[in-house]
């Protein structure tokens, strides 16, 4: 049923796509922050660019499909059709691109002053030009494939985000045609120019090198104009297709075939460097068949992944002031690094806070389980793995050691499908039992179950997390990892994996909340309980995004009842706060900083009465209704204090936090008696102090620590 038929109130909600664009604007704000080191500012421009690329590939792509398949479908937060949503998106993008270009120019100038030079060919010194010419002749030209588009040479397929030099060519008769020169993946993104003194970094991006020598690559044709271009294709492949093709074949093989279709989906954007002439653009439009509203000119590089390689090429003396100071994640003081992780978790529940805590305790737990004689099985859900995953190798070793290892591998994790297919084969070859989840429902949950046997008694160690089992992102994303020997949670985890093995999504659990059935249901129950308290009610939720209309409406009802609601949402928020009569008691904060905020915490009530959960699910329709997600209660007093302190510290942030206004815009929080950068605070202060039960001295230390936190944040 369409939103209009449901009679929905759009007075306090907003479109998810426009809300996401606001988030990416906040990413760009980090590039404008003078307190951020210059290379890090350039990286934020790169992140903004890759974010926008994915937005076009996925969100714009899916709306494009929807506009053809179901043109009258109404968005239940804005009341717009797919075409209307696309129109609003296309209106917003040019200003963002212009802002990006200005910031790129500013940061580049400052980097030049600091000794980092991103050069055009004409700006090279004579000896550098000689080096570039030789490099082009020996390393580049032999693998190039320039193409002329005419009756004998059809227009080539353009891969999404692959850089090409487009050229307006003229033959000897004065006729014009189009030439294309792809930048092969085998080439580096830039070449570092020789610097005998090694006190600066001078480099030439590959597209600039190719553009310089394009005139020599098209034979007798004269190059009238040339410039860098790239297209963005719809990447929103339909996983439903694998139901109808080769229905009896292995799901992994069907996924591999389906991925090949992604590179041939519709073009949704054409980007071109500002030097591309109108005549050249006219030829491109004729071949690509794209509207003016889908074409974007820019002065900044069209692809910016090179930025993350540039920082590794910096001379050591140059790099230090241009980058964040190195940070090494710490081993929690409450855990004995040389002791048994299993026995320590049996003693007390443990909670790791990435990246401030290292992931090593979990790796140690998994490695210990792979070797312990009393461990009979390891079961784990995997959504994204590092390209060189320690976790996967430990699981292989466990299987080789005779443990029963079950891996629920989600092959449909967007843009990680190929990586997950490769790992699934490796795990299977090592003897792991690999399954692919439930049809129509991505498995996004983060849970690991270790089962041990002593005599005729089974016991469990269960880990539930908010982030992926990925050692790389564990150093870049803020996430939580809860480890417990609680028997009820272990029994729930056992039942969960049994249900996944038979495709049962309707299981009932004592402690764990499992979507698509359990999480939203419990969230609504918990919100109702706070509504019953009226002005004494309190809700604080930290997540990445919120789009689910039923949850939004229930939170608005809670606001009307006087419940104080604090939302810490990094990205999309379709609820607009501060609307009189609906959401005046809702406050929305977004934090964008050095690390990607990724943890999910759900708090209902205050103090000792608060119900606290962590989990894998955001408050999005896809997470709550169309994915397998897990949330877990946290009841150990020490860990509850830790979660509440994390929430309060982030709410007190007035450096990297922005507050959402009633019109959907954001302003950066400033002022207050104490300057609080929550991520910087977490880097400097550990929540892990020795267990209070061990010594009276340690009990005093812990009480003093949390008292200091409350005082620091102004809560005492």
Please, what is the angle between helix 360-371 and helix 390-400, to 10°? 10
Query: ∠ CA 465-634-572 to the nearest 5 degrees?
Result: 55
The span from the CA of 371 to the CA of 378, in Å, is 11
Give the residue from 693, 617, 684, 120 showing the smallest Cα distance to 356: 684
**Does 152 participate in catalysis according to the annotation?**
no
355, 476 contact by CB (below 8 A): yes
Which three-class secondary structure state does DSSP give residue 389?
coil
Q: Any idea of the CA torsion for 208, 209, 210, 215, to the nearest 10 degrees?
A: 100
Residue in the structure block whose two tokens are 């494009």 = 64
Q: What are phi and psi of 601, to 5 degrees?
A: -130, 135
Q: Which long-range contacts (CB under 8 A, 24 or more apart) does 87-91 make?
A: 88/15, 88/17, 88/18, 89/17, 89/18, 89/21, 89/59, 89/60, 89/63, 90/293, 90/294
Sole residue written with tokens 């320039």: 146
Phi, psi torsion values for 238, nearest 5 degrees: -90, 115
Residue 177 burial (CB count, 10 A) = 17
Report the candidate in 262, 258, 80 with the shortest Cα–Cα distance to residue 161: 262
What are 165's two structure tokens? 């030099």
Q: Residue with structure tokens 């906040």? A: 26
What is the rounded CA–CA span in Å between residue 624 and residue 521?
Answer: 9
d(CA 682, CA 680): 5
Catalytic choice (117, 164, 273, 444): 444
* Closest by Cα among 562, 566, 487 to 531: 562
Strands 350-354 and 375-382: unpaired
Which residues are catalytic, by number? 444
């Amino acid at each position: 049923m369409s939103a209009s038929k449901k009679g929905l109130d759009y007075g306090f909600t907003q479109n998810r796509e426009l809300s996401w664009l606001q988030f990416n604007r906040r990413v760009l704000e980090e590039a404008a922050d003078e307190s951020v080191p210059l290379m890090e500012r350039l990286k934020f421009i790169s992140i903004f660019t890759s974010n926008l690329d994915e937005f076009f590939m996925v969100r714009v792509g899916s709306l494009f499909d929807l506009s053809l398949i179901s043109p009258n479908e109404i968005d239940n937060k804005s009341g717009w059709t797919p075409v209307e949503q696309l129109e609003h998106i296309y209106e917003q993008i040019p200003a963002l691109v212009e802002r990006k270009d200005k910031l790129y120019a500013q940061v580049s100038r400052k980097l030049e002053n600091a000794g980092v030079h991103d050069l055009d060919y004409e700006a090279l010194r004579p000896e550098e030009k000689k080096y570039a010419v030789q490099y082009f002749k020996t390393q580049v030209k032999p693998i190039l494939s320039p193409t002329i588009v005419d009756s004998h040479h059809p227009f080539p397929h353009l891969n999404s985000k692959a850089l090409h030099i487009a050229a307006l060519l003229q033959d000897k008769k004065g006729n014009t045609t189009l030439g294309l020169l792809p930048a092969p993946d085998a080439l580096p993104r830039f070449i570092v120019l020789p610097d005998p003194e090694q006190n600066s970094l001078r480099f030439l991006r590959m597209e600039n090198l190719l553009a310089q020598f394009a005139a020599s690559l098209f034979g007798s044709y004269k190059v009238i104009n040339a410039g860098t271009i790239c297209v963005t294709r719809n990447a929103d492949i339909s996983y439903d297709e694998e139901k109808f093709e080769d229905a009896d074949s292995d799901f992994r093989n069907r996924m591999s075939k389906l991925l090949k279709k992604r590179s041939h989906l519709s073009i949704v954007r054409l980007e071109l460097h500002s030097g591309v002439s109108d005549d050249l653009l006219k030829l491109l439009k004729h071949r690509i068949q794209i509207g003016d509203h889908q074409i974007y000119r820019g002065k900044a590089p069209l692809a910016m992944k090179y930025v993350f390689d540039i920082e590794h090429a910096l001379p050591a003396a140059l790099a230090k002031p241009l980058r964040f100071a190195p940070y090494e994640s710490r081993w929690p003081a409450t855990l004995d690094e040389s002791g048994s992780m299993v026995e320590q978790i049996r003693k007390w529940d443990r909670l790791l806070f990435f990246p401030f805590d290292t992931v090593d305790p979990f790796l140690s737990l998994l490695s210990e389980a792979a070797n312990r004689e009393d461990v009979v099985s390891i079961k784990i859900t995997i959504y994204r793995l590092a390209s060189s995953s320690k976790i996967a190798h430990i699981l292989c070793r466990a299987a080789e050691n005779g443990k029963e290892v079950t891996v629920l591998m989600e092959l449909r994790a967007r843009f990680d499908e190929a990586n997950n297919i490769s790992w699934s084969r490796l795990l299977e070859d090592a003897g792991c039992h690999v399954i692919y989840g439930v049809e129509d429902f991505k498995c996004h949950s983060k849970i690991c179950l270790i089962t041990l046997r002593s005599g005729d008694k089974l016991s469990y160690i269960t880990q539930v997390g908010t982030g992926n089992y990925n050692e790389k992102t564990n150093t870049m994303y803020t996430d939580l990892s809860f480890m417990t020997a609680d028997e009820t949670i272990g029994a729930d985890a056992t039942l969960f994996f049994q249900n996944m093995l038979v495709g049962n999504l309707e299981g009932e659990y004592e402690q764990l909340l499992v979507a698509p059935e359990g999480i939203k249901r419990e969230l609504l129950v918990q919100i109702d309980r706070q509504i019953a308290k009226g002005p004494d009610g309190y809700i604080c939720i930290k997540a990445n995004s919120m789009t689910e209309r039923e949850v939004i409406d229930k939170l608005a009802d809670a606001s009307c009842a006087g419940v104080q609601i604090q939302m810490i949402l990094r990205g999309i928020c379709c609820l607009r706060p501060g609307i009189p009569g609906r959401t005046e008691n809702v406050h929305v904060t977004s934090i964008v900083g050095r690390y990607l905020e990724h943890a999910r915490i759900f708090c209902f009530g205050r103090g000792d009465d608060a119900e606290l959960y962590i989990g894998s699910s955001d408050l999005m329709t896809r997470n709550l209704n169309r994915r397998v997600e897990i949330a877990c209660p946290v009841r150990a007093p020490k860990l509850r204090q830790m979660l509440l302190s994390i929430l309060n510290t982030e709410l007190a942030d007035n450096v990297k936090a922005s507050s959402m206004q009633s019109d959907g815009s954001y302003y950066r929080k400033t002022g207050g008696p104490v300057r609080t950068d929550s991520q910087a605070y977490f880097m400097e202060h550990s929540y892990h102090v020795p267990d209070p039960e061990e010594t009276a001295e340690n009990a005093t230390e812990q009480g003093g620590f949390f008292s200091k936190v409350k005082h620091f944040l102004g809560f005492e």
